[in-house]
Amino acid sequence: MATQTHRTMTYPARILWQPQDYTERWNHMLARCVEVFGLPGDRYTTYVDADYMDFLFHNEQDRLLFLTGWPAHVPSKETTV
């Protein structure tokens, strides 16, 4: 496991809401996220918007793992929470 970085540093990842998204798909994605990273607060926090859901990781390796397993991308600096 990678070491924890300073809490003021965050590494964002974003999942956009898609027209084909449905409740079961989101439940599965978020349950899998909790299985891998735990509940929000310790290793990451989340923010929800009408168009997307942001995940702010406290560790860059956690974000990289997240990006490989979910349909996520790194948001541009102008759109980061």
Give 11-79's CATH code, choosing from 3.30.870, 2.60.40, 3.30.70, 3.40.50: 3.30.70
pLDDT band, residue 5 (cuts 50/70/90):
very low
Q: Is 29 helix (H, G, I), strand (E, B) or coil?
A: helix
pTM, whole model, 2 decimals?
0.76
Of 1, 36, 46, 61, the C-alpha closest to 28 is 36
Of 59, 74, 73, 72, the C-alpha closest to 26 is 72
Q: Are 44 and 56 in contact (CB under 8 A)?
A: yes
How far is the C-alpha of 78 from the C-alpha of 75, rounded, in Å? 8
pLDDT for res 1: 46
User: What would the mean pLDDT of 38-62 be, rounded to a whole number?
Assistant: 93
How far is the C-alpha of 74 from the C-alpha of 79, rounded, in Å? 10
How far is the C-alpha of 33 from the C-alpha of 19, rounded, in Å? 21
